[in-house]
Amino acid sequence: MWHALVLVVVVAAGCGLPRDVDGTLDRVRGDAVRVGVAENAPWTVVGADVPGAEVSGAEAALVRDLAVRLDARVEWRRGSESTLMAALTEGELDLVVGGLLDDAPWTEQASLTRPYTTTRVVVATPEDVAAPDDLAGVRVAAPAGSTESAELADKDAAVVRVDDVADVHDMPVAVDDWRVVPLGLRSTRHVLHEEKHVWAVPLGENAWQVEVERFLADLSADEVVRLLDEAQRSSR
Amino acid sequence: MNVYDRYELPPDKADLHRRAVRLEWWTIVFFVCAVALLAVTLGQSQAMKAAWIEDMLGLVPPIAFLIADRYRNRAPDRRLPYGYHRTVNVAFLAGSIALLGLGAYVVYDSLVRLLSGERAPIGLVELLGVQLWLGWLMIAVLVATMVPAILLGRAKIKIARELHDKVLYADAEMNRADWLTAGAAVAGVLGIGLGLWWADAVAALVIGADIVRDGVRTTRAAVANLMDSRPQVVDGTAEHPLPARLLAAVLDQDWVADAWLRVREEGHVFVGELLVVPSRDDGLVERLEALGVWARDFDWRIHDLVVAPVSHIDPAPADR
């Protein structure tokens, strides 16, 4: 029995495991990758839903790099996360991007890749504002309608809800760590939460998933930050 | 006569028993490690879940064995005048039901996966700076958990036969079920790797059916045990030969005209009643007492035997 098992493993290794159930990787290579994209600036900016309109954002740029690597075109499909995930399950899409996080509830519909980058929401201070030791009672600006606002409220900070923290210059702000330096801020030791970013691929297309994950694993963190910064600038 | 005596195993059996206790502790260590190791490699895949649940349920028989071991040799007392031997039967039932539950879970889980056409995603993992397919890591972990399960199971089944220990036997069966499901999971992961989404569920289904069969057999045996069935050999395949041998030996005594024996299993030991029709009355009390002592020395399993004289025994239709 042991010999049989060893033999199977060796043979399987020779055959280039894993393979796709529906052969996605073979189909995509040299042809087209069908990407579902949901708006989530600066990760993805879908633009106008007219033929020829460009999808932009950091993840859109990364998808184009992946397509180059596979010698394939990108066919963008715009939609909400819900509709895109349903289409992915039914095999109408090969990839869904849109600033997805690793705790997304789509595990029944899709396979989430390994996180390829982690961003942190931190409390940062403008040049002439002292870093608070304790957030209790301190006025801190945070985007309205965000989890950061709630987390600051939990820490008894006096939350000032704003449209964009870039416009705040007189108090500490809750902001993504990659925006700290471009905005001329200084980080404090207060980290509110981490976000682990993933993409979604169809369930069971394991060769395709491994190819996508290899691409994502080879990315450098600096490259992702550079793309995010670029996307953020062009959107303002 | 001391009615509150404790039961001790003969020295060679006691040695074996101590070995069994050690094996059970090692089993617990092994399963705890396996549960932790599998939890880390589980990922989003359903394929290894059965093997994981299996390892958790695998803790039930050794724990039952070790708890029963704490109690079974206690002397009878006012509350439990028959002693504590039956803790072993209770542990046997617990172990059997764990086995049955495991089989039922594996069958249910793989049927659901098969019918819903579920496809397991297994992606990339980075281990010590090397990128490899997570499936290879899963297979490595599964094979690593198979080896101790096979070795432990084999060692236990031998001791279980010697000691007439059904808990240990059920546990050995559990170890067998364990490495079989791990093997099925290996086949399943390879199947997923080959793009055969159904291979994994089908393999698990076949193994699950086998475990259910084992579970039903041992649960039936455990319930029959608690119903005071005729003693069975440890794997439940045949009647135990000892009661018939003892009755024949009693009938061989020259002052015994007729005799009737009824015994049940209380854990390792046999307990019951012996009715004898004496052919002469002189020194009857002494002879009956001596017969009781003689029966206990007849075999280490005979423990608590009430010997009573009667004038005659009607052949019962049930006694075939």
Same domain, A177 and A207: no
Equal CATH topology for B11-226 and B242-309: no
Say what the alpha-carbon torsion angle A149, A152, A158, A164 is, to the nearest 10 degrees: -40
**pTM above 0.90?**
no
The predicted pLDDT at position B1 comes to 63
User: Is a pLDDT exceeding 70 seen at residue A12?
Assistant: no
**Where is pLDDT greater, at A16 or B170?**
B170
Q: Judge if A43 and A156 occupy the same domain.
A: no
Residue A85: give the domain boundaries: 21-114+198-235
pLDDT of residue B105: 86
User: Which residues in A have their CB inside 8 Å of a CB on B?
Assistant: 5, 8-9, 12, 15, 17-21, 23, 107, 111-114, 201-207, 209-210, 213-214, 217
Select from A1, A112, A114, A206 the residue whose CB has the most chain B CBs within 10 Å, as the one to mutate to test that interface.
A206
Beta strand ranges found along chain B (DSSP E)? 124-127, 130-133, 256-266, 269-278, 302-309
Residue A8, domain member (yes or no): no
Whether the predicted pLDDT of A135 surpasses 60:
yes
- Same domain, yes or no: A181 and A68: no
Helices (H) and strands (E) in chain B, counts: 9, 5
The whole-chain average pLDDT of chain A stands at: 89
Query: Best mutation site among A2, A17, A26 for testing chain B: the one with the most B CBs within 10 Å?
Result: A17
The domain total for chain A is 2
In a domain, A168, yes or no: yes
Q: Give the position of tokens 């007189």.
A: A170
Contacts of A1 (CB under 8 A, 6+ apart): none
- Measured between beta carbons, the chain A residues lying within 8 angstroms of B126 are 114, 217
Which of B41, B118, B124 should we substitute to test contact with A (largest number of A Cβ atoms within 10 Å)?
B124
Task: Count how many pairs of residues, chain A against chain B, have C-beta atoms within 8 Å.
Answer: 77
Question: Does residue A30 share a domain with residue A101?
Answer: yes
If asked whether residues A105 and A25 sit together in one domain, one would say yes
State how far the Cα of A130 lies from the Cα of A173, in Å rounded to an integer.
12
Cβ contact (<8 Å) for B123 and A113?
A: yes
Using the beta-carbon criterion (under 8 Å), do A209 and B139 form an inter-chain contact? no
Contacting residues of A for B197, CB less than 8 Å apart: 21, 204
Q: Which helix (H) or strand (E) holds B282?
A: none
List of chain A residues whose C-beta atoms are within 8 Å of the C-beta of residue B118: 203
Q: How many residues does chain B have?
A: 320
Pair A44, A34 in one domain:
yes
Q: Chain A: give the shortest CA distance to residue B137, in Å.
A: 12
Query: What number is the average pLDDT over the span A164-189?
Result: 92
**Residue A117 confidence (pLDDT):** 94
Same domain, residue pair A157 and A138: yes
CA angle B301, B21, B240 (to 5 degrees): 25
Average pLDDT, chain B: 86
**CB of B199 closer than 8 Å to CB of B63:** no
- Kindly list the residues of chain B whose beta carbon comes within 8 Å of any beta carbon in chain A: 44, 118-126, 131, 133, 135, 139, 143, 183, 186, 190, 192-197
Q: Which of A32-36, A192-196, B165-169, B308-312 has the lowest mean pLDDT?
A: B165-169
A206:B193 CB<8 A = yes
Residues A90 and A186 in one domain: no
Does A88 reside within a domain?
Answer: yes
For residues A42 and A109, state if they share a domain: yes
In a domain, A15, yes or no: no
Statement to judge: residues A98 and A183 lie in one domain: no
What pLDDT digit, counting tens, does each position of B191-204 carry? Answer: 888 988 888 888 88
Q: What is the pLDDT of residue A71?
A: 95
Do the Cβ atoms of B122 and A18 come within 8 Å?
yes
Residue A9 domain flag: no
Give me the residue spans of the domains in chain B: 11-226, 242-309
Residue A187 within any structural domain of the chain: yes
Q: Which residue has the tokens 């010590």?
A: B128
- Tell me which residue in B44, B131, B135 faces A18 most closely, judged by beta carbons: B135
CATH 1.20.1510.10 at B11-226, yes or no: yes
- Closest Cβ opposite residue B44 in set A111, A210, A213: A111
- List pLDDT tens digits, range B19-76: 999 999 999 999 898 888 888 876 555 557 777 877 888 888 899 889 888 888 888 8
% of chain A exceeding 70 in pLDDT? 91
Kindly report the CATH number assigned to the domain that includes residue A192: 3.40.190.10
Instruction: Answer whether B280's CB lies under 8 Å from B256's CB.
Output: no
CA distances from B144 to B53, B180, B187 (A): 17, 13, 15
Residues of B in contact with A111 (CB under 8 A): 44, 121, 123
Task: Give the pLDDT of residue B12.
Answer: 86
Structure tokens at B236: 């439940």
CA distance A101 to chain B (A): 15
DSSP per-residue letters across chain A: -HHHHHHHHHHHHHTTS--BSS-HHHHHTTSEEEEEE--BTTTBB---SSTTPPPBSHHHHHHHHHHHHTT-EEEEEE--HHHHHHHHHTTS-SEEESS-BTT-S-TTT-EEPPP-EEEEEEEEEETTSPPPS--TT-EEEEETTSHHHHHHHHTT-EEEEES-GGG--SS-EEEEGGGTTTTTEEEEEEEEEEEEE--EE-TTBHHHHHHHHHHHHT--HHHHHHHHHHHHHHH-
Minimal-distance CA residue of chain A relative to B194: A19
- In this structure, of A220-224, B88-92, B259-263, the range with the lowest mean pLDDT score is B88-92
| Whether residue A110 sits in one domain with residue A203 | yes
Interface test with A, best of B41, B49, B127, B133 (most A CBs within 10 A): B133
Q: What is the pLDDT of residues A118-131, one digit of tens each?
A: 999 999 999 888 89
Residue A157 has pLDDT above 80, yes or no: yes
Which residues lie closer than 8 Å to A128 by C-beta, 6 or more apart?
A: none
| A30 and A109 fall within a common domain | yes
The ipTM estimated for the assembled molecules is 0.76
Contacts of B227 (CB under 8 A, 6+ apart): none
Q: Which residue of B has its CA nearest to A209?
A: B123
pLDDT (0 to 100) of residue B78: 87
Residue of B nearest to A211 (CA): B124
CATH code given to domain B242-309: 3.30.70.1350
Residue range A36-56: average pLDDT? 84
